[in-house]
Amino acid sequence: MSSSSALAAPTTPAALIVDGLRKEYPRRRSLFARQTPPVKAVDDVSFAIAPGETLGLVGESGCGKSTLASMIMRMITPTAGSVLVGGQVVATLLPREVLAYRRKVQMIFQDPYSSLNPRIRARDLIAEPLRIHRLAEGSAIQVRVVELADQVGLAASSLDRFPHEFSGGQRQRIAIARALAVSPQMLVADEPVSALDVSVRAQVLNLLADLQAQRSLSYLFISHDIGTVAYLSHRVAVMYLGAIVEIGPAKAVLRRPHHPYTRLLLEAVPITHPRQRTRRREVLRGEALGASAAGVGCRFAPRCPMAAPRCLTEEPLPRTLEANRVVTCHFAEHTPELPRGETIT
């Protein structure tokens, strides 16, 4: 595996392996402009997910999370690296093999309204994968549709409605039922609750947790909200400018972050502990320089409160600090602890 293969550390045979994955986009330039470096949307990312495990992937908008998800789903071809599911390299699958792959890995998108065809009734939206994959025929399709609707908390009497007649939470339940129709081994959930009202988010997260327990599903759960990721994940990977800067067990990462970026993300979570509300908090200042700037020194150095001259010239390598905990920072051991009562559990 790649130099960052330490990031792939499940203790059981992996349901998904991402090894040294990269995606670069060339920059357009005029005839007389100098050659500019490509945009590194995803830069040497490696991890693995065990059966029945949830890996939460968190980071700011634009850090490469959705690009990574698209490569896993074979919607985008990687520049380098590989995605393996069941021992098969996803990028090399023949067209006739892609359909079988879609049965193993399904995706839940951020906006349930734009991901559902507005001209098709909910019943047919859920039935469509059954027909495409030839998993049922005739009346058996409708029986299976009702079963799937019941599993995600939708009434059978509502299945003849169109997507615009459902609430946002109900539309996302339709999307989940459709993804479950082919009995996948893994779900890639790309910001599945960010478009929902706060009151509905917990319901959908609880549904995903229940389905995982019932079906032994593996999840790659993507979000920009570290609090949401903490609720569902067994392990957490923190992504910045296309690279994973910290990964480890969720409780360990959230109680004692070793990367300054992880710590600042946690500092941004609203304080609920009454004794901590008056404490001065560090703020993540400035904006990311852009994926094309990565590769010279530490990519987080321009915004890091701990940055030293070394950080501007020497790119840090992933280091294992403790069991199943990898951090990409020169000074990871010196990151201040979060105050008591302010950790997310």
DSSP state, residue 124 = H
Residue in the block written with tokens 């200042």? 285
| pTM of the entire predicted model | 0.88
* Domain boundaries of the chain, sorted by first residue: 5-28+35-274+281-334
- Distance, in Å, from the CA atom of 135 to the CA atom of 129, rounded to the nearest integer, reads 8
Burial of 143 (0-12, 13-18, 19+ CB in 10 A): exposed
DSSP state, residue 305 = T
DSSP β-bridge partners for residue 238: 58, 246
Q: Enter the CATH code of domain 5-28+35-274+281-334.
A: 3.40.50.300
Helix axes 168-180 and 122-132, enclosed angle (nearest 10): 20
DSSP β-bridge partners for residue 107: 188
pLDDT digit of tens for each residue in the chain (345 aa)? 444 444 544 556 789 999 999 999 987 766 666 667 788 899 999 999 999 999 999 998 889 999 999 999 999 999 999 999 988 899 899 988 999 999 999 999 988 888 899 999 999 999 999 999 999 999 999 999 999 999 999 999 999 999 999 999 999 999 999 999 999 999 999 999 987 888 889 999 999 999 999 999 999 999 988 888 988 999 999 999 999 999 999 999 998 999 999 998 888 776 655 555 545 556 566 666 655 455 578 999 988 888 899 998 999 999 998 878 999 999 988 777 776 555 565
